[in-house]
Protein backbone atom coordinates (compact mmCIF):
# COMPACT_ATOMS: atom_id res chain seq x y z
CA UNK A 1 0.00 0.00 0.00
CA UNK A 2 1.55 3.32 -1.03
CA UNK A 3 1.41 6.63 0.82
CA UNK A 4 -1.66 7.92 -1.04
CA UNK A 5 -3.66 4.74 -0.50
CA UNK A 6 -2.78 4.79 3.20
CA UNK A 7 -3.95 8.38 3.52
CA UNK A 8 -7.25 7.64 1.77
CA UNK A 9 -7.85 4.71 4.12
CA UNK A 10 -7.01 6.88 7.14
CA UNK A 11 -8.93 10.06 6.32
CA UNK A 12 -11.13 9.47 3.25
CA UNK A 13 -14.91 9.17 3.62
CA UNK A 14 -17.12 7.21 1.23
CA UNK A 15 -20.45 8.90 0.49
CA UNK A 16 -23.49 7.73 -1.53
CA UNK A 17 -23.19 8.14 -5.29
CA UNK A 18 -19.59 6.91 -5.52
CA UNK A 19 -18.33 10.10 -3.90
CA UNK A 20 -15.03 9.99 -2.04
CA UNK A 21 -14.51 12.91 0.34
CA UNK A 22 -10.85 13.79 0.77
CA UNK A 23 -11.39 17.41 1.71
CA UNK A 24 -9.48 17.05 4.99
CA UNK A 25 -6.16 16.67 3.16
CA UNK A 26 -6.47 17.18 -0.61
CA UNK A 27 -9.03 19.60 -1.99
CA UNK A 28 -10.29 21.85 0.81
CA UNK A 29 -7.80 21.61 3.64
CA UNK A 30 -4.40 20.82 2.13
CA UNK A 31 -1.66 18.68 3.65
CA UNK A 32 1.47 20.25 2.19
CA UNK A 33 3.77 17.47 3.40
CA UNK A 34 1.58 15.01 1.49
CA UNK A 35 1.67 17.29 -1.55
CA UNK A 36 5.45 17.34 -1.34
CA UNK A 37 5.53 13.54 -1.40
CA UNK A 38 3.19 13.58 -4.41
CA UNK A 39 5.43 16.01 -6.29
CA UNK A 40 8.48 13.91 -5.53
CA UNK A 41 6.75 10.74 -6.77
CA UNK A 42 5.60 12.36 -10.02
CA UNK A 43 9.10 13.68 -10.63
CA UNK A 44 10.32 10.09 -10.34
CA UNK A 45 7.63 8.63 -12.60
CA UNK A 46 8.05 11.28 -15.32
CA UNK A 47 11.82 11.51 -15.17
CA UNK A 48 13.32 11.91 -18.62
CA UNK A 49 10.17 13.33 -20.22
CA UNK A 50 11.74 16.77 -20.65
CA UNK A 51 8.86 18.58 -18.96
CA UNK A 52 8.84 22.30 -19.81
CA UNK A 53 5.59 23.29 -18.14
CA UNK A 54 2.81 21.92 -15.92
CA UNK A 55 -0.87 22.50 -16.75
CA UNK A 56 -3.88 22.00 -14.48
CA UNK A 57 -7.44 23.34 -14.01
CA UNK A 58 -8.57 25.64 -11.22
CA UNK A 59 -9.18 25.26 -8.43
CA UNK A 60 -8.39 22.01 -6.65
CA UNK A 61 -5.59 21.00 -9.02
CA UNK A 62 -3.56 24.14 -8.35
CA UNK A 63 -2.13 23.19 -4.96
CA UNK A 64 -0.73 19.81 -5.96
CA UNK A 65 0.47 21.14 -9.32
CA UNK A 66 2.37 23.97 -7.59
CA UNK A 67 4.34 21.53 -5.46
CA UNK A 68 4.96 19.27 -8.46
CA UNK A 69 6.28 22.25 -10.43
CA UNK A 70 8.93 22.81 -7.75
CA UNK A 71 10.34 19.35 -8.39
CA UNK A 72 10.43 19.85 -12.16
CA UNK A 73 11.69 23.47 -11.83
CA UNK A 74 9.17 24.65 -14.41
CA UNK A 75 6.28 27.14 -14.50
CA UNK A 76 2.73 26.09 -13.64
CA UNK A 77 -0.17 27.24 -15.81
CA UNK A 78 -3.75 26.72 -14.68
CA UNK A 79 -6.75 26.82 -16.98
CA UNK A 80 -9.40 29.25 -15.77
CA UNK A 81 -13.06 28.34 -15.66
CA UNK A 82 -14.37 31.82 -16.37
CA UNK A 83 -13.24 34.72 -18.50
CA UNK A 84 -12.06 37.69 -16.46
CA UNK A 85 -10.65 41.13 -17.13
CA UNK A 86 -7.20 39.68 -16.41
CA UNK A 87 -7.43 37.62 -19.62
CA UNK A 88 -6.44 40.28 -22.09
CA UNK A 89 -4.87 38.24 -24.89
CA UNK A 90 -5.80 35.51 -27.34
CA UNK A 91 -6.94 32.32 -25.63
CA UNK A 92 -7.35 28.59 -26.07
CA UNK A 93 -10.79 27.39 -24.95
CA UNK A 94 -12.15 23.90 -24.31
CA UNK A 95 -15.50 22.74 -22.94
CA UNK A 96 -15.32 20.54 -19.84
CA UNK A 97 -18.13 18.78 -17.97
CA UNK A 98 -17.65 18.57 -14.21
CA UNK A 99 -18.51 15.18 -12.64
CA UNK A 100 -18.59 16.76 -9.17
CA UNK A 101 -20.79 19.73 -9.96
CA UNK A 102 -22.73 18.46 -12.97
CA UNK A 103 -21.98 21.61 -14.95
CA UNK A 104 -20.26 22.43 -18.25
CA UNK A 105 -17.50 25.00 -18.12
CA UNK A 106 -15.33 26.67 -20.69
CA UNK A 107 -11.72 26.31 -19.54
CA UNK A 108 -9.42 29.00 -20.79
CA UNK A 109 -5.66 29.41 -21.19
CA UNK A 110 -4.00 32.47 -22.68
CA UNK A 111 -2.02 31.54 -25.76
CA UNK A 112 1.11 33.32 -24.55
CA UNK A 113 1.53 30.73 -21.76
CA UNK A 114 1.70 27.64 -24.02
CA UNK A 115 4.12 27.47 -26.92
CA UNK A 116 4.58 25.08 -29.85
CA UNK A 117 7.06 22.30 -29.13
CA UNK A 118 6.78 22.49 -25.34
CA UNK A 119 6.46 19.28 -23.30
CA UNK A 120 3.51 19.78 -20.97
CA UNK A 121 2.75 17.62 -17.93
CA UNK A 122 -0.91 17.58 -16.91
CA UNK A 123 -1.70 17.33 -13.18
CA UNK A 124 -5.10 17.01 -11.46
CA UNK A 125 -6.55 15.76 -8.21
CA UNK A 126 -9.26 13.40 -9.51
CA UNK A 127 -9.90 11.38 -12.65
CA UNK A 128 -13.43 10.03 -13.13
CA UNK A 129 -14.88 10.34 -16.63
CA UNK A 130 -11.85 12.07 -18.09
CA UNK A 131 -13.65 15.16 -19.40
CA UNK A 132 -11.33 17.65 -17.71
CA UNK A 133 -8.23 15.88 -19.00
CA UNK A 134 -9.58 15.67 -22.53
CA UNK A 135 -10.18 19.41 -22.38
CA UNK A 136 -6.60 20.06 -21.28
CA UNK A 137 -5.26 17.67 -23.91
CA UNK A 138 -7.15 19.52 -26.63
CA UNK A 139 -5.69 22.83 -25.46
CA UNK A 140 -2.15 21.43 -25.48
CA UNK A 141 -2.69 20.01 -28.97
CA UNK A 142 -4.13 23.29 -30.25
CA UNK A 143 -1.04 25.06 -28.93
CA UNK A 144 1.18 22.73 -30.95
CA UNK A 145 2.71 21.40 -27.74
CA UNK A 146 3.15 17.78 -26.56
CA UNK A 147 1.49 16.05 -23.61
CA UNK A 148 4.53 14.70 -21.78
CA UNK A 149 2.38 12.75 -19.34
CA UNK A 150 -0.55 12.95 -16.94
CA UNK A 151 -0.30 12.79 -13.15
CA UNK A 152 -3.45 12.12 -11.12
CA UNK A 153 -3.76 11.97 -7.34
CA UNK A 154 -6.83 9.68 -7.21
CA UNK A 155 -8.34 7.78 -10.13
CA UNK A 156 -11.79 6.20 -9.95
CA UNK A 157 -10.98 3.01 -11.80
CA UNK A 158 -14.63 1.97 -11.98
CA UNK A 159 -15.38 4.96 -14.21
CA UNK A 160 -14.20 5.16 -17.83
CA UNK A 161 -11.82 8.13 -17.76
CA UNK A 162 -8.61 6.26 -17.07
CA UNK A 163 -9.20 3.69 -19.80
CA UNK A 164 -10.18 6.39 -22.29
CA UNK A 165 -7.01 8.38 -21.65
CA UNK A 166 -4.75 5.30 -21.74
CA UNK A 167 -6.38 4.16 -24.99
CA UNK A 168 -5.40 7.54 -26.44
CA UNK A 169 -1.79 6.51 -25.89
CA UNK A 170 -0.83 8.84 -23.05
CA UNK A 171 1.40 7.99 -20.10
CA UNK A 172 -1.05 8.24 -17.19
CA UNK A 173 0.27 7.85 -13.65
CA UNK A 174 -2.31 7.78 -10.85
CA UNK A 175 -1.04 7.64 -7.27
CA UNK A 176 -4.12 5.67 -6.19
CA UNK A 177 -6.62 3.80 -8.37
CA UNK A 178 -9.90 2.94 -6.64
CA UNK A 179 -11.62 -0.14 -8.04
CA UNK A 180 -14.74 0.05 -5.89
CA UNK A 181 -16.26 1.73 -2.86
CA UNK A 182 -19.16 0.86 -0.54
CA UNK A 183 -20.80 3.77 1.26
CA UNK A 184 -22.66 1.41 3.63
CA UNK A 185 -19.56 -0.39 4.93
CA UNK A 186 -16.94 2.27 4.20
CA UNK A 187 -14.91 -0.21 2.18
CA UNK A 188 -12.46 1.07 -0.41
CA UNK A 189 -10.65 -1.33 -2.75
CA UNK A 190 -7.55 -0.26 -4.64
CA UNK A 191 -6.04 -1.66 -7.82
CA UNK A 192 -2.45 -2.87 -7.92
CA UNK A 193 -0.20 -3.11 -10.96
CA UNK A 194 -1.83 -6.39 -11.97
CA UNK A 195 -5.34 -4.90 -11.92
CA UNK A 196 -6.29 -6.83 -8.79
CA UNK A 197 -8.36 -5.51 -5.89
CA UNK A 198 -6.04 -5.64 -2.94
CA UNK A 199 -6.95 -3.40 -0.01
CA UNK A 200 -10.05 -2.86 2.09
CA UNK A 201 -11.10 0.34 3.82
CA UNK A 202 -12.34 -1.66 6.79
CA UNK A 203 -8.92 -1.05 8.36
CA UNK A 204 -10.05 2.46 9.39
- Which residue ranges make up the annotated binding site for xanthine? 20, 27, 156
Contacts of 195 (CB under 8 A, 6+ apart): none
Q: Which of 122, 139, 136, 110 is nearest to 76 (CA)?
A: 122
- Residue 52: CB atoms within 10 A of its CB come to 18
- Compute the radius of gyration of the chain from its Cα atoms: 17
Binding residues: 20, 27, 128-132, 156
* 80 close to 58: Cβ distance less than 8 angstroms: yes
SS3 of residue 141 by DSSP: helix
Q: Which of 156, 166, 81, 158 is nearest to 125 (CA)?
A: 156
Binding residues for 5-phospho-alpha-D-ribose 1-diphosphate: 128-132
Amino acid sequence: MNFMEKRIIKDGKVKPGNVLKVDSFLNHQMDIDLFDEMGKEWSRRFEGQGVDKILTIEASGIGIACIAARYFHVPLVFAKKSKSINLDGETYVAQVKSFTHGTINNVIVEKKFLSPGENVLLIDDFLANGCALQGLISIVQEAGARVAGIGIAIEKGFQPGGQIIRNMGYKLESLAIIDSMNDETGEIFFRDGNNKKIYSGLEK
